[in-house]
Structure formats: C-alpha cells, structure tokens
Amino acid sequence: MSQETLGVLGDLRRYLEKQRDFGLHAVPGRPAQSDLSKLDQKLQGCKVCSLSQGRRQVVFGSGNPNADLMFVGEAPGAEEDRQGLPFVGAAGQLLTKMIESIGLRREDVYIANVIKCRPPGNRDPEPAEVASCEPFLKQQIDLIEPSIICTLGRFAAQTLLQTSESMGRLRGRLFAYEGIKLVPTYHPAALLRNQQWKRPTWEDLQMLRREYDGAEF
C-alpha cells in the first residue's frame, strides 16, 4: 500500500473516530455527549500552560462518551500529538489488546490522559502542568460518569489518588476516586519494556473485569 493510501486511510479512521465520539452511543439519562464535545472544542485553543507552545494538537480523549469503563494515561506522545487521539502509538496497540483480553472493544470504553498536550521530548509533566490540566480531566470524568476507572501507570494513579506510593504498592488493589471504583495497573509502555510486569497486569485486568461485571450501571 502506498504512503498516500496509508495517509488517506489514517485520515478516514480519525474522521470516523471523531464522528463516533460525537455522534453515537447516546443513552437517555447519561451525560449529553454534546457537553463532552463542547469541552473538547473549548480545550482545543487552551493556552493555560506552556505545553501549548510545543504541541501540534490537544489530545482530548476518544471512545464511547457513555462508557462504563474509562482508562486514564499520562500524556500524549509523538504519535498522539500528530493524530490528535490518545494511545495510538505502540503503547496504544498494546492497550487495545489489553482491553480485548477482558472481552471488551476499544470503542466500548473511553480513553483519556491526565495531561492533554504532549510534554516536549516526552518528559514527565511538571506539577504546574498537572495543576492546570487535571480540572479538565475531572470535568471529562463528570460528563462520562464511568462506573470504573483504570489508571495506566504511576503518574495517573498518583495524580488521581493524590498519593506518592509506588506502582508496585498501588497495583492489585481497588480504590475509589470520588465515588468511582479505581483499579491502577502498569502503563502499556512500561509493559513493552518490562516483561515481568505482564503477569501482575493480567491479574489487575482480571480484577478490573470482575469489578466491571459487579458494577451497577
């Protein structure tokens, strides 16, 4: 397939993902997904912190706006910044497999990050950037109203749980974030580097599925 065809297919996929985010899955009594798209629109011009200077796109989030399960990662990387969608690089492909391993599809869940703009060189987000961006994640969670959140990696877990505990101590446990069940697990990018975390992650995903099945929707 030529580069040009691949480019067109990529554009089409992104277009369809945006359409799905904004148009489908409306469930009466659940958040108006138009509010989610309004928040997305508002953030597209965000200049609250200096990350706005280096980003190509604000990566708001994608998936089912009425999802019962929401995944929260750290911040967009280079590919996410290029496409404007979360978890579309190598780690994203592994995340898709993780979601499928518990019998769900990527389009069933909602995926977002704590930080909506790519930190230069993928450095760790700074406290001031977290302070600027976290309120937007909170608004997103309020609109989606998931029953369960799965945080991916230390940064997202520590931010939402307001803790400095290590990933090794956080994983394998069930928490609550503002009344929503929260299951922390390893970041898929970390799994690509550390094979030994695959088994604990598998166990976390089994717990996630059990809690998802037990959740009242």
Say if CB 152 and CB 71 are below 8 A apart: yes
Q: How far is the CB of 216 from ligand URA (least distance, A)?
A: 29
Chosen residue from 63, 65, 73, 84 binding ligand URA by CB under 6 A: 73
The binder of ligand URA chosen from 63, 65, 77, 146 (CB under 6 A): 77
Q: Is 76 in the site for ligand URA (CB under 6 A)?
A: yes
Burial readout 114-139 (b: 16 or more C-beta within 10 A, e: otherwise): bbbbbbeeeeebeeebbebbeebbee
Candidate residues 36, 58, 69, 91; the one interacting with ligand URA per rule CB under 6 A: 91
Nearer to ligand URA, 4 or 69 (CB): 69
Q: What is the nearest approach in angstroms of ligand URA to the Cβ of residue 217?
A: 26
75 binds ligand URA (CB under 6 A): yes
How many angstroms separate the CA atoms of 120 and 129, rounded?
12
Angle CA 101–107–109, to nearest 5: 70
Residue sitting closest to ligand URA (CB)? 73
Per CB under 6 A, does 113 bind ligand URA? yes
Cβ at position 189, least distance to ligand URA in Å: 6
The answer to whether the CB of 35 falls within 8 A of the CB of 22 is no
Q: Do 91 and 187 touch, CB atoms closer than 8 A?
A: yes
